[in-house]
Amino acid sequence: MRLKEKVALITGGSSGIGLETALLFAKEGAKVIIADINDEGGQQAVARIQEQGGTAGYCRADVSSAADCEKMVAFAENVFGKLNILFNNAGIMHNDDGDAVSTEESIWDLTMSINVKGVFFGCKFGIPALRRAGGGSIINTASFVAHLGAATPQIAYTASKGAVLSMTRELAIIHAREGIRVNALCPGPLRTDLLMKFLNTEEKKQRRLVHIPMGRFGEAKEMAAAALFLASDESSYMTGTEFLVDGGITSAYVTPE
């Protein structure tokens, strides 16, 4: 098993990419902590992992809260003795996120608090735990829109994912000699509740699909497989990367220098 004897903390682990990753990490031998604000979903995820013979625990945590992020890391160490893998995955894509003119300040602030501050807080409290464990892997969920911008306006989300990408690069440089790897997972458009609620008309869906060379939305399970690679020792010489798993969309629209 690729994550045997590892302890992994996954934020936003009750649904979408987080849930699929939690299930896969557990199958690969990791003890998994699911952090979320959805208590019912988090407990159901733990039950699913236990049903498949894995080990998991749930910790309620709002990633925009420093105290909650400190608590979830402490939970991992108190319950499972250490922390080896931190997947800063929790995020939002608000339906009222549009262009710079139409987007309200409250939507901007909420998006930044969860998508950017949540990654910062995860790293702020997670990195000392990884040091105590002798190193490990941090995976931050960014997005292809950090490279391209979005066909359907979502200014706060796009800016937030650009910030995650920049933060990932800097953290990777700072902590490389400590055995702590930091990489960004950059999904393309996915068939998850998060995106489908935002692309809530067929017209919006087609505006995305027309740009994807593979002609389909990605699946959360495909992102989980990519996260597994970044979490495992198979990616031991990778840090500071932008791991694009996007159906070819960035290759189609980014002009080589």
* Per-residue H/E/C for 75-113: HHHHHHCCCCEEEECCCCCCCCCCCCCCCCHHHHHHHHH
107 vs 254: CA distance, rounded Å: 29
DSSP string for residues in 222-244: HHHHHHHHHHSGGGTT--S-EEE
Contacts of 55 (CB under 8 A, 6+ apart): 26, 31, 32, 49, 80
Q: Which string of b and e fits 191-207 if b means at least 16 CB within 10 Å?
A: ebebbeebbeeeeebee
58 is catalytic: no
User: Given 58, 157, 237, 253, which residue is catalytic?
Assistant: 157
Question: What are the φ and ψ backbone dihedral angles of 223, each rounded to 5 degrees?
Answer: -70, -35
Q: Give the catalytic positions in this structure.
A: 157
